[in-house]
Structure 1
Amino acid sequence: MHLLTSSRTLALALLSGATLLLSPVARAQQPEGQTVPASESTTPGSTTSPEATKPAEPAQVPEAAKPAEPAKPAEAPKKESAWYEKIRIRGYTQFRYNRLPSFRENDDLINEQGDRFLGKNGGFGIRRARLIIFGEVHDRVSIYLQPDFASVIGEQLHVAILRDWYADIFLDARKEFRLRVGQSKVPFGFENLQSSQNRLALDRSDSINSALRDERDLGLFFYWAPQHIRDRFKLLVDSGLKGSGDYGVVGFGVYNGQNANRLERNDMPHAVARVTWPFQFGKQYVEAGVAGYWGRYNVTVTPRSDAPYALARGNDLVDARGLVSFVLYPQPFGVQFEYNVGRGPSFGENDPFVIDSRPLRGGYAQLMYKLDGVAGVSLTPYVRGTLYEGGKKFETNAPRYDIREVEMGVEWQILKALEVTGAYLISDRTSSRAPYTQQRGDVTRIQVQVNY
């Protein structure tokens, strides 16, 4: 009996030892991260320490075997806008009717340089139809294209013709210095540079506009203005104060001299320079400037049997002017004044068929009063007087003009996109057609302008 008990005890001890020996193998066969329950890892009555019953540590995976973390996508570089996405379009159209009743009507009162709808059978007309394409195609380059779809050539109305096509090349990061190359307005005068979209009077005065037909020519110009003055030029336009736009504080350059859309005819370009300065006097904006140009002009001469026009000397005639301008912007009262003197091609007052470079003079003065908030709109009445004695070099035979005019009108800005101007013109001017007789008459006109 004692032997049986001892044998049983020995068997239990051997079984217990075998279990302890086999338990690490069993644990190794368990899935990673799981532990063997105590009931399966020890036998009842075993004296295994608590350390032996702790769950096994997860096997350490070598760094090289670990899956690599996905790389963060690199930020895509900001795509620069294509040049054509920087292009903008705007414009305006002016519709006119010139046959309203007048005190002294004269069908022979015409103006080839200005309103082609004056005179007999004028009726309705489209004075201007402009579409302007512009934008900065680069930080240092901007473009400006402006065709007009209401030009007149002979008897043909509404002919499309180029007005502006130029590029501004900025010479510094602040864009204070720039070169302008192409066909553009020549920096001479204030009213010549002022857009017809902003001008009060229905047409530019002959006294200043006779210097440059269509105000433009092909050339190269330099402009400079400090940034705060460039901002002021913009303000004077955007605020409705009838500014001229940004043509620099200083502007100078060279141009063909035969006027826009015409070839140079003598290989002697004109030179021009202008200085202007807009400033504040109290709360009112004021601008004063001077300008001048010099060159030689080639005249178109067409003699007839009854009018033997001829040049007194060679055809490259001196063409030079000096100008002063002053603008007191309407806040609410305003004044605009310009006067120029010089020499230019024309036939003489006493030599009607002899063309030479002769003295010229003339200018205009305009008074205006801006009334804002009248029935929710803006009203600006004005009166302008014009005087000019001198030639028109770009007309055949360079006829000499004697012009005295008074225009009274009011501009009614109904909406930003809609303006209406009514004007009464009292005119005494030389006819644009041979035999260039003096004509007197009155014209009542109305213009509807659509801005877009």
Structure 2
Amino acid sequence: VQLKADEEKRQVKEFEESRGVGDVPIRERWYEKISIRGYTQFRYNNSTNNNLLINQQGDRSIGKNDEFFLRRARVIVSGQPHERVFIYVQPEFASLLSGTEQTVTLRDWYADLFLTENKEWRIRAGLSKVPFGFENMQSSQNRLGLDRNDAINSAQNNERDLGLFLYYAPTHVRERFRRLVDSGLKGSGDYGMLGIGVYNGQTANKRDANKDKHVVFHSMYPMEFPNGQMFQVGMDAYTGQFNVSTAPVVPLTGVPNEQVLGGFSPILRNGGNYLDERVAWHFVLFPQPFGLQGEYTIGRGPELNRARTEVTSGTLRGGYLQLFYNYRCESLCESVMPFVRAQEYYGAKKHEANAPKNTVREVEVGLEYRFNQALELTVEYTWTQRSSADSSTIPASCADNSLGSGAPACTQTPYQLQSGNLVRFQLQWSF
């Protein structure tokens, strides 16, 4: 059997070598058009001085138990079954579902339909990233900081939604996008130089909750100077109606005591649909060897009022600035990237029940040590202050109005501002 297989391989090789330039090529087999790759992020977080400090929008393992945690476990299947069609599927094996960790959910399932032979124009259909911001587009596999910044990421939880997106990028721009990723310069990938899209607006893996669709406008341009230095600027904007959910919360004043203790859900207007619109800017001086990166956003969206009795419309703003350095190793490693990063966000968490107000101020200092293309270690120290996602009052009796002055002091109030320090480690392997 082995001899027969070797003989068949030899005959195929001889036939290939004998083919003329004008010969019709042998039809590719289906598995020759499919690529499989992936990566895993294994973490340990140590909260040094505040067990109530949590980050539901980012790393949900941050908290009192200082646990080992699979932050991401991705397998990516992609391919081009036709010269005008590219497919991409990415499941996540480290999701949380009904309290169970390491469950499987879908992150991407889309097709790129090329409108021109040179592939400069394409329509992306399905579940994919919404083109808003730089870090949201950048793969977590390539990002320096362990979590995305809160300001830009609060626009689109999990960065994805179901929709149709039209992208345009000249061939030379697409080549730059590809080179910025392949060369290890922390690029975002190819989401077009210009883009426009229509999507549901309720985030990934959720049914649309209203008839309104979100519309996004996208632009980014990577420049290359004569000395080889790469610099990118971009601007994105979207608008739509976001549907807010509610959950019982203890209000400050103006609600009968029996409603307080039984749980009071804030009032919603317009069926829970609120104007959701933002604009964001970014710039990136890619690390050759010094790098500087920043983003900023402003906008309006749903927000729980100060009395915690009604969801209203509020303004938001925030962004970050990151300084980093790319040291290329000659032995023992491929690269070392130290970085320092500061971020702020003043707005709300529209994806959480009641759209509570959210204040974030954070400084991170870290280092990414890349052993080789398949393995890297990131160590990070964080000084952080952020609003809690917890809507409960501890103890519950501190909200009992009937006790008057006899009510105990609250050790925790809903959405309380928490401060603390974190020591964080991440081991990432790719295949």
**Do the two structures share a fold, i.e. TM-score over 0.5?**
yes
After TM superposition, give the deviation of residue 280 of structure 1 in Å: 1.6
- Please give the secondary structure, in 2, of the residue aligned with 1:230: helix
**Hey, what's the Cα distance between the residues in 2 that align with 1:77 and 1:335?**
50
After TM superposition, give the deviation of residue 152 of structure 1 in Å: 1.5
Task: Read off the aligned partner of 2:233 and give its amino acid letter.
Answer: A
1:335 aligns with 2:292: yes
- Please give the secondary structure, in 1, of the residue aligned with 2:294: strand
Q: Counterparts in 2 of 1:98-247, with a 5 A limit?
A: 98-99=45-46, 104-247=48-191
Change (3 A) 1:183 1:226: same
- Please give the secondary structure, in 1, of the residue aligned with 2:184: coil
**Hey, what's the Cα distance between the residues in 2 that align with 1:279 and 1:209?**
25
- Please give the secondary structure, in 2, of the residue aligned with 1:291: strand
After TM superposition, give the deviation of residue 447 of structure 1 in Å: 0.4
Tell me, yes or no, if the aligned pair for 1:303 and 1:310 is still in contact at 8 Å: no
Tell me, yes or no, if the aligned pair for 2:92 and 2:104 is still in contact at 8 Å: yes
**Hey, what's the Cα distance between the residues in 1 that align with 2:293 and 2:23?**
55
Task: Read off the aligned partner of 1:127 and give its amino acid letter.
Answer: R
**Hey, what's the Cα distance between the residues in 2 that align with 1:374 and 1:405?**
34
| 5+ residue gaps, structure 2 | 1-21, 250-258, 392-413
Tell me, yes or no, if the aligned pair for 1:428 and 1:440 is still in contact at 8 Å: yes
- Please give the secondary structure, in 2, of the residue aligned with 1:395: coil
Tell me, yes or no, if the aligned pair for 2:290 and 2:325 is still in contact at 8 Å: yes
After TM superposition, give the deviation of residue 300 of structure 1 in Å: 0.6
After TM superposition, give the deviation of residue 313 of structure 1 in Å: 4.5
1:250 aligns with 2:229: no
Which deviates more from structure 2 when the two are superposed, residues 207-216 or residues 309-318? 309-318
Which deviates more from structure 2 when the two are superposed, residues 368-377 or residues 301-310? 301-310
After TM superposition, give the deviation of residue 85 of structure 1 in Å: 2.8
Residue 320 of structure 2 is matched in structure 1 by: 364
Tell me, yes or no, if the aligned pair for 1:128 and 1:150 is still in contact at 8 Å: yes
**Hey, what's the Cα distance between the residues in 2 that align with 1:409 and 1:309?**
40
After TM superposition, give the deviation of residue 78 of structure 1 in Å: 3.4
Tell me, yes or no, if the aligned pair for 2:177 and 2:190 is still in contact at 8 Å: yes
After TM superposition, give the deviation of residue 113 of structure 1 in Å: 1.2
**Hey, what's the Cα distance between the residues in 1 that align with 2:267 and 2:66?**
34
* 1:303 paired residue among 237, 244, 248: 248
1:415 aligns with 2:366: no
**Hey, what's the Cα distance between the residues in 1 that align with 2:49 and 2:187?**
34
**Hey, what's the Cα distance between the residues in 1 that align with 2:265 and 2:422?**
34
Change (3 A) 1:330 1:362: same
Residue 393 of structure 1 is matched in structure 2 by: 350
Question: Could you list the per-position Cα deviations for residues 374-396 of structure 1 after superposition, in whole angstroms to 9, with x for gaps in the alignment?
Answer: 54421000011110011111111
Which deviates more from structure 2 when the two are superposed, residues 276-285 or residues 214-223? 276-285
Task: Read off the aligned partner of 1:369 and give its amino acid letter.
Answer: Y
1:448 aligns with 2:404: no
Residue 304 of structure 2 is matched in structure 1 by: 347
Tell me, yes or no, if the aligned pair for 1:313 and 1:356 is still in contact at 8 Å: no
**Hey, what's the Cα distance between the residues in 1 that align with 2:171 and 2:195?**
15
1:292 aligns with 2:234: no
Task: Read off the aligned partner of 2:291 and give its amino acid letter.
Answer: G
| 5+ residue gaps, structure 1 | 1-74
**Hey, what's the Cα distance between the residues in 1 that align with 2:297 and 2:330?**
37
- Please give the secondary structure, in 1, of the residue aligned with 2:370: strand
**Hey, what's the Cα distance between the residues in 1 that align with 2:270 and 2:313?**
10
Tell me, yes or no, if the aligned pair for 1:365 and 1:385 is still in contact at 8 Å: yes
Residue 9 of structure 2 is matched in structure 1 by: none
Matched length: 375
After TM superposition, give the deviation of residue 120 of structure 1 in Å: 1.1
Question: Could you list the per-position Cα deviations for residues 147-192 of structure 1 after superposition, in whole angstroms to 9, with x for gaps in the alignment?
Answer: 0000123421111100000000000110000000000000000000
Residue 10 of structure 1 is matched in structure 2 by: none
Residue 19 of structure 2 is matched in structure 1 by: none
- Please give the secondary structure, in 1, of the residue aligned with 2:418: strand
Report the identity percentage: 51
* TM-score, reference length from structure 2: 0.84
Residue 437 of structure 1 is matched in structure 2 by: 416
**Hey, what's the Cα distance between the residues in 2 that align with 1:154 and 1:430?**
24
Tell me, yes or no, if the aligned pair for 1:83 and 1:138 is still in contact at 8 Å: no
Task: Read off the aligned partner of 1:156 and give its amino acid letter.
Answer: T
Residue 224 of structure 2 is matched in structure 1 by: 280
* TM-score, reference length from structure 1: 0.81
After TM superposition, give the deviation of residue 433 of structure 1 in Å: 1.4
* 1:382 paired residue among 310, 315, 339: 339
Q: Counterparts in 2 of 1:56-135, with a 5 A limit?
A: 78-99=25-46, 104-135=48-79
Change (3 A) 1:85 1:316: same
- Please give the secondary structure, in 1, of the residue aligned with 2:329: strand
After TM superposition, give the deviation of residue 302 of structure 1 in Å: 2.1
Question: Could you list the per-position Cα deviations for residues 9-49 of structure 1 after superposition, in whole angstroms to 9, with x for gaps in the alignment?
Answer: xxxxxxxxxxxxxxxxxxxxxxxxxxxxxxxxxxxxxxxxx
Question: Could you list the per-position Cα deviations for residues 65-94 of structure 1 after superposition, in whole angstroms to 9, with x for gaps in the alignment?
Answer: xxxxxxxxxx99533213343011001000
Task: Read off the aligned partner of 2:267 and give its amino acid letter.
Answer: A
Residue 324 of structure 1 is matched in structure 2 by: 281
Residue 315 of structure 1 is matched in structure 2 by: 272
**Hey, what's the Cα distance between the residues in 2 that align with 1:356 and 1:320?**
14
Question: Could you list the per-position Cα deviations for residues 229-271 of structure 1 after superposition, in whole angstroms to 9, with x for gaps in the alignment?
Answer: 1010000000000000000000111000000000001011100
Tell me, yes or no, if the aligned pair for 2:246 and 2:265 is still in contact at 8 Å: no
Q: Counterparts in 2 of 1:39-54, with a 5 A limit?
A: none
Tell me, yes or no, if the aligned pair for 1:339 and 1:364 is still in contact at 8 Å: yes
Tell me, yes or no, if the aligned pair for 2:209 and 2:243 is still in contact at 8 Å: yes
Task: Read off the aligned partner of 2:115 and give its amino acid letter.
Answer: L
- Please give the secondary structure, in 2, of the residue aligned with 1:311: coil
**Hey, what's the Cα distance between the residues in 2 that align with 1:237 and 1:318?**
35
Structure with the greater alpha carbon radius of gyration: 1
**Hey, what's the Cα distance between the residues in 2 that align with 1:278 and 1:161?**
33
